[in-house]
Amino acid sequence: GGGGGGGAARVAGVPELASSSSAELAAARFAAAGLGAVVEGGGQTSRRLWLKLAANAVLNPLTALWNVRNGEVLRRPEGRRIAADVCAEIAQVCAAAPPAAATPSPSARELEAFVEDCASENAGNWSSMHQDLHHGRRTEVQQLETDHIGIVASP
């Protein structure tokens, strides 16, 4: 995807679990195995997913369409304009979505800053969508569409 994963597993989703000893135990086991882990509440997870959505919604299609690496997308004026438009739209959806715990939804500017960070931190990388198309594989979007059409078409 667009990147920005932070390199650590996340133990999250249910606020009660994130603050429980089970989550702390899971994080400790990851650490003991030499793997990173972060315990977070549901609101933090929701916010992080919105940020990752923005990075993927900007970087994946533009790298694939323009046949460029992640870092090139925001070097182009058109890429910056598209990123701003996409982030503004995602921010509107965030604001309309039910709130996740007490964590505020990211603003358009916060989404753009995250996309910029991901593009910069992964500048030399090819996006997953670019790689899928380059190697003649179905993209994640095509796979999701197929999965959903199969569900809708099922008796």
Q: What is the set of active-site residues?
A: 52
CA distances from 28 to 5, 20, 36, 68 (A): 20, 13, 9, 39
Token output for 150: 């199969």
DSSP calls for 10-24: EE-SSHHHHTSHHHH
The residues facing 9 across adjacent strands are 37
Contact 1, 64 (CB under 8 A): no
DSSP 91: H
